[in-house]
């Protein structure tokens, strides 16, 4: 039997941390994607307030892998 996986890339955001942003992305994905087998964190970026120099929003880009269902 051949197994096929599909991989999508999504971006989660959080005002707390990159870890939280990745969790947000995964939580959203599980609402519509079944059988998620793994994630890969591919990029971390942030929005910075130019007046304070502080991070105001964290962004985590994740690749989500899941099996393709056959009917």
Closest CA to 67 of 40, 34, 42: 34
**Residues 13-31: tens digit of each pLDDT:** 999 999 999 999 999 999 9
Is 70 exceeded by the pLDDT of residue 71? no
CB 57 within 8 A of CB 15: yes
Q: If DSSP states are collapsed to H, E and C, what string results for the chain?
A: CCCCEEEEEEEEEECCCHHHHHHHHHHHHHCCCCCEEEEEEEEEEEEECCCCCCEEEEEEEEEEEEECCCC
Is 80 exceeded by the pLDDT of residue 70? no
5-67 sits in which CATH class? alpha beta
**Residues 34-61: tens digit of each pLDDT:** 999 999 999 999 999 999 999 999 999 9
């Amino acid at each position: 039997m051949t197994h096929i996986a599909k991989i999508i890339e999504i971006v989660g955001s959080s005002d707390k941390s990159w870890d939280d942003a990745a969790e947000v992305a995964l939580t959203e994905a599980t609402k519509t994607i079944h059988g998620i087998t793994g994630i890969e964190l591919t990029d971390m970026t942030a929005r910075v307030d130019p007046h304070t120099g502080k991070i105001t929003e964290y962004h985590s880009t994740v690749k989500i892998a899941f099996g393709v269902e056959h009917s």
